[in-house]
Structure 1
Amino acid sequence: MIIFTSKNNRYIYNQFTNDIFVVPDEFNTLKDSEIQDELSPFLETKNISFESPNLENSDKTRSLIINITNYCNMRCSYCAYSEHYPFERKHENRTIDFDVVKKAIDEYVNRSEGIEFRHISMYGGEPSTEPHLVSRIIEYAKKKSSNFKFSVCTNGYSMSNEWIQLLVKNEALLQISIDGDKESHDRYRIDKNGRGSFDRIVSNLNKLSHQFPAYYKTCVYFVVTLSPPYRLTGLYEFYNNNELFHQPWYINFVKPTDTTFIDSLSLSKQDFDFSSQELYLANEYINASINGDAQNHFGYWVFGELVKGIHLRESKPGNKIWINGCCNPGVDKLFVDCNGDYYPCERSGSFMKLGDVEVGVDIDKSKDIVKQYTEDCNINCKTCPNMRFCDACYLGSKKGYEFELSTKYEFCQKRVAKLKLALYIYCSVLEINNNAFDIFTASDISI
């Protein structure tokens, strides 16, 4: 169980019952481990079992991701397709064939019958280097169905007028990678000549926001890849001081496994410290939430998803838990690469192949992956304090080209620490403003 101290009280979170309650005063002088020993025999527990989704009738797919090209006009040092990741594909001048795209869209349309909105996401490489192909894909999809929505993952380095018009015309969501201020961004996000890309990207963003302010406000959001030296507080200041970046953010971390990138950095131990910055931002977010600003503060994009999960947690949970951090392979997402091969998502690489555009989706492979993962959870995760909020996914068990379930346990302590910090935020806020998080609904924060 998790024992934590808020601004004013000491609490226990009981993962079996999903309860949060104040530690009795007579135990407040004890250490956390002593409280565990004293109170655990009196706290309700359950024989938890993990369940996986029933994929027997998984003939639906919610989202199709198309790898437009393997070519990229930048060479970010930490990129998963760089020389630092030997088990991933490399940058190459290769683009997906339009006939492959048509077959993938046709199958997706068949597999998404009855879904309110169909969604196609364009990925790379860098999709903006192939605007004509992206245009053809959108045009073909619209002919197949009238309920398509589109999104594009881009580095923002190229923003031709043709590209901008295409995005705006189709109201495509634009996910732009940027790592904070010029110093932080240019450290790793460099062009093919080794030059920083910040100034050019900001210039492009200014151009887009001035020409199409309504589109910019509603359709643009940012993705940051945090990597050592960590500068979360600097990112917070960057957000506060730049109206151009007052948009939704998605916080990502550089991929820590199967890589030589981390070892290649000549940095001090302090450069790898993240917890003190995280705590500082947590306290800033607490103050903002108490004052009714839980959704407009930058901390919302760092802590909001987990705090929301705590706020909306089941009050009387049963004994069965769904695997939280995992999507259903081939069902929630389906990624098609330049070869026409299917994978669960854009981060899969050559791992967990689920078929191809010629033979279709092999749902039996999905079932096998889900079965193995669920069985392992039922052996190793049934008493974990984070079992109801864990965001580990199948790809956390990727080691090289193999499915190695033990890999995901390398980061369990960090995940538990993340939950403990979110509980600290949650209770510290509610002690002063009990209604601060009532604004959260199940549809919040999905970007």
Structure 2
Amino acid sequence: MIQDINILKFQTKTNNCYVFDAITNNIYQVRQNDLDGISNTNFGRENGIRDLESNTPDIRKQVSKNAKTLIIEITEKCNLRCSYCVFDDESKIKERSHGKKSISLKEAKDSVSSFYERTNKEEAFIVFYGGEPLLEFEKIKDIVAHADTISNKKIKYSITTNGIPLNNEKLEFLIKNNFLITFSIDGPKTVNDKYRFKKNKKGVFEELVSKIESIKDNYPEYYSEKVLFNCVINNTEEIDLINKFFAESKIIDSKKVRFSAELSNSEEINKHISNAAVELFNETEKKEILLRPIEQSFIGNLIAKVNHRKLDKYASQGKKICVPFSNRTYIRSSGEIQFCERIQDYGVVSSTTKEDLELASKKIYSEFLSFKKEECSRCFAYNFCEFCPASFMENGKLNKTTSKIKCDGFRKDVKESIRIYIEKNETEQK
């Protein structure tokens, strides 16, 4: 495989040769003798450098008229002490600490009001986040009542929970208000309870699974449409156990699970998963390849993005761009406003007026563009990339080392996904 700026060249197992043009997302089959000589001039370009400026969003419009999601960190309190949690004192990622702080009802209501004023009044979401948000259930009810009043019930709700505080009263409220619920579960009991436990070190697997099973049995339609799961992978040696658990579970559909790597160990885990998926594709000539749940989540979904990519002048429209305070607005339990829940003290603003958020968004976007512009303009994976400023944060700052590690890994996955897509199409055409 030979690489040029925004061009990938492939020779498949059948000795067919292809070129992927990352500016237009087109894939061309070429003669073997022509492969090495193909360059950007063949596509009518002097060079392959992408013009990022032309893809700059209308920040003012996005922030002030099209805000999408408000994330409310309703409390720092939690009933669990998960070993990898960024709130935990023992976490390698020194982001926050467990505390007793909860957001005031006034600050929460004010943030909802100012957020809704910045939406298009048709599509708006509030996510309740923690700590463990269900520990502030009465406050959640008050916030939802306020949001329903000012939006005429246009706002939709979501909550991420460890599930342990859930009871019939809370569940009925969540169902009545059509909440999307994401439960955190990290695999079978032996794996889950190794990392997810109460203050007394007692695991929570059986208690959580019992509650999930009850929802599925008693509210099957709601369970099917509104219940999701999040799994954190902590160790490459546990991947097989986690795959087996979700693949065979009669309670949890693996397609409803979002897998993520534990932050401080993510490079090794991501590499292991990608390699396992690629090996499986290389070992089979079958038209339909059934990836295991984790590999499907990482590589399988990326191959699907290649399959459904936009072409020519629309190619860059498939690229997701993070506009701070539009895509997400995050209010911490302290009352501080930030653009994402995955950062430390970067991009804090003291005012939620449209004008101040616009200025803050432009500043953060400009800093990120300056940080990544040269690399992104030459990156063949750009149109498939969903990395945002928060992806490259280390100790509250944009970090070049973190950026290189993550981008190198993603580029490898995109190369393999395009190659697999090409070879899979060849097999299907036989």
Question: Same fold per TM (> 0.5)?
Answer: yes
Report the Cα offset of residue 297 of structure 1.
7.2
- Whether 1:185 aligns to 2:192 is yes
Q: Which residue of 2 aligns with 1:209?
A: 216
Alignment of 1:24-43 (within 5 A): 24-25=31-32, 38-40=37-39, 43=42
Q: Is the 8 A contact 2:86 2:94 kept in 1?
A: no
Q: Which residue of 2 aligns with 1:245?
A: 252
- Whether 1:222 aligns to 2:217 is no
Q: Which residue of 1 aligns with 2:180?
A: 173
Q: Give the stretch that moved more between structures: 338-347 or 227-236.
A: 227-236
Q: Could you tell me how far apart the structure 2 residues matched to 1:126 and 1:392 are?
A: 26
- Whether 1:56 aligns to 2:63 is no
Give the aligned residue type for 1:419. V
Q: Which residue of 1 aligns with 2:387?
A: 392
Q: Is the 8 A contact 1:397 1:407 kept in 2?
A: yes
Q: Could you tell me how far apart the structure 2 residues matched to 1:90 and 1:338 are?
A: 12
Give the aligned residue type for 1:274. I
Match of 1:119 among 115, 125, 128: 125
Cα 1:270–1:342 change in 2 (3 A) is closer
Query: Would you tell me which structure has more helix in proportion to its own residues?
Result: 2
Report the Cα offset of residue 391 of structure 1.
2.6
Q: Which residue of 2 aligns with 1:46?
A: 48
Give the aligned residue type for 1:73. N
Same amino acid, percent of matched pairs: 24
Cα 1:326–1:87 change in 2 (3 A) is farther
Cα 1:194–1:171 change in 2 (3 A) is same
Q: Could you tell me how far apart the structure 2 residues matched to 1:5 and 1:231 are?
A: 35
Report the Cα offset of residue 164 of structure 1.
1.1
Cα 1:343–1:281 change in 2 (3 A) is farther
Q: Which residue of 2 aligns with 1:329?
A: 324
Q: Is the 8 A contact 1:228 1:271 kept in 2?
A: no
Q: Give the stretch that moved more between structures: 54-63 or 298-307.
A: 298-307
Q: Could you tell me how far apart the structure 1 residues matched to 2:139 and 2:12 are?
A: 53
DSSP-derived class of the 2:182 partner: strand
Report the Cα offset of residue 152 of structure 1.
0.3
**What do the CA deviations read for 1:35-82 (whole angstroms, capped 9, x no partner)?**
6x5544775353422133221333131111111110111111111112
Q: Could you tell me how far apart the structure 1 residues matched to 2:397 and 2:321 are?
A: 18
Q: Could you tell me how far apart the structure 2 residues matched to 1:281 and 1:134 are?
A: 46
Q: Which residue of 2 aligns with 1:312?
A: 308
Cα 1:329–1:300 change in 2 (3 A) is same
Q: Give the stretch that moved more between structures: 270-279 or 78-87.
A: 270-279
Q: Which residue of 2 aligns with 1:32?
A: none
Q: Could you tell me how far apart the structure 1 residues matched to 2:256 and 2:39 are?
A: 41
Q: Which residue of 1 aligns with 2:273?
A: 274
DSSP-derived class of the 1:410 partner: helix
**What do the CA deviations read for 1:289-322 (whole angstroms, capped 9, x no partner)?**
x44989x97755333542333223232248x958
Match of 2:157 among 138, 142, 150: 150
Q: Is the 8 A contact 1:230 1:274 kept in 2?
A: no
Q: TM-score, normalised by structure 2?
A: 0.84
- Whether 1:162 aligns to 2:169 is yes
Report the Cα offset of residue 336 of structure 1.
0.7
Report the Cα offset of residue 202 of structure 1.
0.8
Q: TM-score, normalised by structure 1?
A: 0.81
Report the Cα offset of residue 7 of structure 1.
6.3
Give the aligned residue type for 1:239. F
Over the aligned positions, Cα root-mean-square deviation in angstroms equals: 3.3
Q: Which residue of 2 aligns with 1:445?
A: none
Q: Which residue of 2 aligns with 1:438?
A: none
Q: Could you tell me how far apart the structure 2 residues matched to 1:119 and 1:271 are?
A: 30
Q: Which residue of 1 aligns with 2:84?
A: 78
**What do the CA deviations read for 1:10-36 (whole angstroms, capped 9, x no partner)?**
544232342223463458xxxxxxx6x
Q: Could you tell me how far apart the structure 2 residues matched to 1:270 and 1:76 are?
A: 19
Q: Could you tell me how far apart the structure 1 residues matched to 2:48 and 2:32 are?
A: 26
Q: Which residue of 1 aligns with 2:425?
A: 430
Cα 1:69–1:303 change in 2 (3 A) is same
Q: Could you tell me how far apart the structure 1 residues matched to 2:275 and 2:194 are?
A: 22
Q: Which residue of 2 aligns with 1:444?
A: none
Q: Is the 8 A contact 1:71 1:95 kept in 2?
A: yes
Report the Cα offset of residue 421 of structure 1.
2.6
DSSP-derived class of the 1:107 partner: helix
Unmatched segments (≥5 aa) in structure 2: none
Match of 2:74 among 68, 71, 77: 68
Cα 1:252–1:4 change in 2 (3 A) is farther
Give the aligned residue type for 1:342. I
Q: Could you tell me how far apart the structure 2 residues matched to 1:206 and 1:353 are?
A: 41
Q: Is the 8 A contact 2:233 2:260 kept in 1?
A: yes
DSSP-derived class of the 1:93 partner: coil
Q: Which residue of 2 aligns with 1:95?
A: 102
**What do the CA deviations read for 1:230-267 (whole angstroms, capped 9, x no partner)?**
544433322221121115221212223xxxx789xxxx
DSSP-derived class of the 1:156 partner: coil
Q: Is the 8 A contact 2:324 2:361 kept in 1?
A: yes
Report the Cα offset of residue 122 of structure 1.
0.4
Alignment of 1:330-409 (within 5 A): 330-356=325-351, 361-404=356-399, 407-409=402-404
Report the Cα offset of residue 100 of structure 1.
0.8
Give the aligned residue type for 1:54. D
Unmatched segments (≥5 aa) in structure 1: 28-34, 264-268, 435-447
DSSP-derived class of the 2:235 partner: coil
Cα 1:282–1:337 change in 2 (3 A) is farther
Q: Which residue of 2 aligns with 1:16?
A: 23
Cα 1:282–1:143 change in 2 (3 A) is farther
